[in-house]
Structure 1
Amino acid sequence: MPPVQPVQAMPPVQSAQVMPNGMPMVQQVQVVPEKKKDIAGLVKTIVIVMVSLIAVTFIGLFIWMFVQYNDVQADVDGQINIAVAEAKDEQAMEDEAEFLEREKYPYKTFSGPADYGQLTFEYPKTWSVYVAAAATNGGDFNAYFNPIQVDAVGKETINALRLTIRDKSFEDVTEEYQKAMDKKNSNLTVESVTVGDAAKNSEVTANRYTGTIPNTDLSGYIVVFKIRDKTVILQTDSVLFKDDFDKLLGTIVFNS
């Protein structure tokens, strides 16, 4: 007798739900809206936009600062170049002035007529001397000094030094300058100074005039003092020679 096969149990059959009309009921699946996913995407988009705007702002700011830096650097470099050029020019001028000053040494000594008090003083060796009137037979003594050469002498000719020893009293000569000072619009002024060498018994009080030289348009300095019965007039026609003029006055010696 053949063996009996066990009978497998069949899975329970779920009965389909039917509607009252006999139609099978379709089970509806509820769909959950993806609100959270949409919010997260929006936030991400906003963050990306903000980061992009910040990045663009920083890039623009960097470009602006870079341009400004280049402009400032170019301006600074230009100012440095100008300053360097000016410094070189100033140094060259100083070197030239020092060279010209050194060239004046050793100074030469000028000696006037013996019978006019033998006035002596030192002057730069780079100056030339022109004696226009030696006063060998009386009258006035005139000499002119100027760097390199003495140009034709005239009222408007500029000379570093004009020396006149007038055969006239000190009072008469200074009265002439006083009249020039009294004229309308005159800017000539006067002060008392001391010239000469006290150690050599040749120190004297002098009148020093500053301003426009009488009967000219030249602006300079004039020193007037007495030697015996004569009057010495030392004049520089330009303020450019003031330093040389003052040094010269400090070396004056004469026979009183």
Structure 2
Amino acid sequence: MKRRQFEQGSINGWMVGTIGFLVLTLIAGAVAAWMFVEYTREKTGVDAKVASAVAKGKNEQAELDQKRFSEEAKNPRVEFVGPNEFGRVSFMYPKTWSAYVDQDGTDRGDYKAYFHPGTVPPARSNTSRFAVRLEVLNSDFDKVLSQYANQLKKGELTSSSVEFNGNAATRLDGAFSKELRGSVVLMRVRDKTIRFSTDADVFKPDFQAVLDTVKFVQ
């Protein structure tokens, strides 16, 4: 009788121990699985962040390289020289740009030339935008400037007295219409007015570079 009780007690103890071991094993396995899942999730997140940072760095470097290449491609710059009867206006512009003379000033008309990267858009389209426009107008300086009086009064444009390559000028910046925001520079030449303009703020650095090389004969 005592032996049977001892054997039964031994069996119960073994079963309890076995069950306890299995429970602990399951718990340990569950914890290990949870830790593995968390590790994998964290690693995936870190890898994704690293990959994103690397890709961003590559994109930023590519943009910088492209910008530097685009700037270098503009050199050496090309000289433009206008006709003598219109003050022989000259300046340097990027070699990657095209130039187009739309009006050559014959029959006492104005002289108009357009400059733009690649191909010059249609000169007589109201929707065309140009990097640089050059106009030599058969009008007095004050008369041309007065065309902007209302916009200056409304605050749509700002005016400043400037000098480019030793040439005194008046510069206008702002919104010339609802669709066009840019800059205009006016200079006196004899009984005429030189008008440089750019149709977009993105071209302002090149516009400035052009103006810094302007020469003309009074």
Paired letter, 2:164: G
Paired letter, 1:213: F
- Residue deviations 1:89-131, cap 9 Å, x none? 3322322222221111110111122232222111001111111
Higher strand share: 2
Structure 1 residues 1-20: aligned runs within 5 Å: none
Aligned to 1:174: 145
Aligned to 1:219: 181
Secondary structure in 1 matching 2:99:
strand
- Structure 2 Cα separation of the partners of residues 196 and 243 of structure 1: 14
- Structure 2 Cα separation of the partners of residues 193 and 156 of structure 1: 30
Q: Which has the larger radius of gyration?
A: 1
Aligned to 1:156: 127
Aligned to 1:24: none
Structure 1 residues 77-156: aligned runs within 5 Å: 77-153=47-123, 154-156=125-127
Secondary structure in 1 matching 2:92:
strand
- Structure 1 Cα separation of the partners of residues 106 and 162 of structure 2: 29
Counterpart contact for 1:196–1:253, Cα < 8 Å:
no
Is 1:245 aligned to residue 207 of structure 2?
yes
Higher helix share: 2
Which of residues 162, 175, 188 is equivalent to 1:194?
162
Paired letter, 1:82: S
Aligned to 1:16: none
Counterpart contact for 2:169–2:185, Cα < 8 Å:
no
Is 1:231 aligned to residue 193 of structure 2?
yes
Paired letter, 2:195: I
Paired letter, 2:181: S
Counterpart contact for 1:207–1:225, Cα < 8 Å:
no
Shift in Å at residue 244 of structure 1? 0.7
Aligned-residue RMSD, C-alpha: 2.9
For the structure 1 residues 193 and 87, does the alpha-carbon distance in structure 2 shift closer, same or farther, using more than 3 Å as the test? farther
TM-score, length of structure 1 as denominator length = 0.70
Could you tell me the percent identity over the aligned residues? 31
Aligned to 2:30: 60
The alignment covers a number of residue pairs equal to 211
For the structure 1 residues 191 and 58, does the alpha-carbon distance in structure 2 shift closer, same or farther, using more than 3 Å as the test? farther
Q: Which blocks of at least 5 consecutive residues in structure 1 are unaligned?
A: 1-37
Shift in Å at residue 84 of structure 1? 2.3
Shift in Å at residue 223 of structure 1? 1.6
TM-score, length of structure 2 as denominator length = 0.81
Counterpart contact for 2:151–2:157, Cα < 8 Å:
no
Which of residues 185, 209, 218 is equivalent to 2:173?
209
- Structure 1 Cα separation of the partners of residues 162 and 176 of structure 2: 21
- Residue deviations 1:163-215, cap 9 Å, x none? 111111221111111223446xxx632131423323xxxx21322322x224x
Structure 1 residues 18-33: aligned runs within 5 Å: none
